[in-house]
Amino acid sequence: MLETGLKAKHILITGGATGIGRTVVTAFAAQGARVSFFDVNGAAGRDLADGLGSAVTFHEVDLTRTEALRERIMALADEAGDIDVLVNGAANDMRHKTNEVTPESWRDTLSVNLDHQFFCAQAVLPTMRRNRSGVILNFGSIAWREGLADAVGYVTAKAGIEGLTHALAREAGPDGVRVNCLLPGFVRTERQVEKWLTPELQDEVMSRQCLRRFTEPEDVAGVAVFLCSDAARAITNQTVLVDGGWL
């Protein structure tokens, strides 16, 4: 049997209240891990935590408030112990026309899609390096490799996340810390179905992917657990695509 080594490990997941993150929280909890998750959606976060028992704790956090975020991570480590695994999952795939972007809206887009991934990593890395063990998993997207239109800020942030991954993997690897990036393709979450899944997009997904089935949040969560587990102990500095063979 695959030995994940995740039992009793402390996992911090951002964006865990809905979508893929919700399934990732559930999947780590099923491994016997202690899961703390951050999200701005208080109602959904509390609802999830209530159903998963005492090993799972929800914290209502706006990740774009960087100083408060850093303090919250320090307090969490004091209260619940060193963070062994960080999953940077939160994002907002807002659409915007290039000619409508302002300096303020550009900054907001990078803030919600890129900045917190760095600042969460910065907050947990010193302890991981001291412990000579730890894993960071950053959620990117195939959107930047594909060149998704009308989302230039989101796409730019997602490209940056791969650079961030390579830089941190190189820096922290000698201290035993692994850093990888997971790129979902089109994943059939509630939000995607509600906001973007038109019959035209469905046709595109089915014609572009090698596989003629939708990728579901559970498909992504399984790969996330694997990449953070001991089974992947030799994997770092990598980007793993979970896109049904789209790219």
Helix and strand counts by DSSP (H, E) for the chain:
10, 7
Q: Tell me the site size for ligand NAD, rule CB under 6 A.
A: 29
Q: Catalytic residue among 154, 186, 214, 246, which?
A: 154
Token pair of 213 as six digits: 């089935």
DSSP state, residue 94: -
Residue type, 152: V
- CA 208, CA 96: separation in Å to the nearest integer? 24
Residue of 127, 131, 192, 238 interacting with ligand NAD (CB under 6 A): 192
Q: Which is nearer to ligand NAD, 65 or 129 (CB)?
A: 65
Q: Which is nearer to ligand NAD, 180 or 189 (CB)?
A: 189
184 touches ligand NAD by CB under 6 A: yes
- Whether 154 is catalytic: yes
- CA 33, CA 176: separation in Å to the nearest integer? 20
Whether 187 and 220 have beta carbons less than 8 Å apart is answered as yes
19 touches ligand NAD by CB under 6 A: yes
40 touches ligand NAD by CB under 6 A: yes
141 touches ligand NAD by CB under 6 A: yes
Residue 185: CB minimum distance to ligand NAD, A? 6
DSSP state, residue 214: P
Residue of 139, 144, 214, 246 interacting with ligand NAD (CB under 6 A): 139
89 touches ligand NAD by CB under 6 A: yes
Q: Which is nearer to ligand NAD, 129 or 208 (CB)?
A: 208
Residue of 6, 11, 13, 20 interacting with ligand NAD (CB under 6 A): 20
17 touches ligand NAD by CB under 6 A: yes
Residue of 31, 57, 66, 92 interacting with ligand NAD (CB under 6 A): 92
Residues 6+ apart with CB under 8 A from 46: 58
Residue 236: strand, helix, or coil: coil
Strands 85-88 and 56-60: unpaired
Sort 192 into a burial class: Cβ within 10 Å, 0-12 / 13-18 / 19+: middle
Q: For 110-168, give the DSSP string.
A: HIIIIIHHHHHHHHHHHHHHHHT-EEEEEE--THHHHT-TTBHHHHHHHHHHHHHHHHH
Residue of 186, 221, 225, 228 interacting with ligand NAD (CB under 6 A): 186
Residue 241: CB minimum distance to ligand NAD, A? 10
Q: Which is nearer to ligand NAD, 95 or 130 (CB)?
A: 95
Residue of 46, 166, 191, 208 interacting with ligand NAD (CB under 6 A): 191
Whether 200 and 217 have beta carbons less than 8 Å apart is answered as no
Q: Note the residues at the interface with ligand NAD (CB under 6 A).
A: 15, 17-21, 38-41, 61-64, 89-93, 112, 139, 141, 143, 184, 186-187, 189, 191-192
Q: Provide the annotated active-site residues.
A: 154
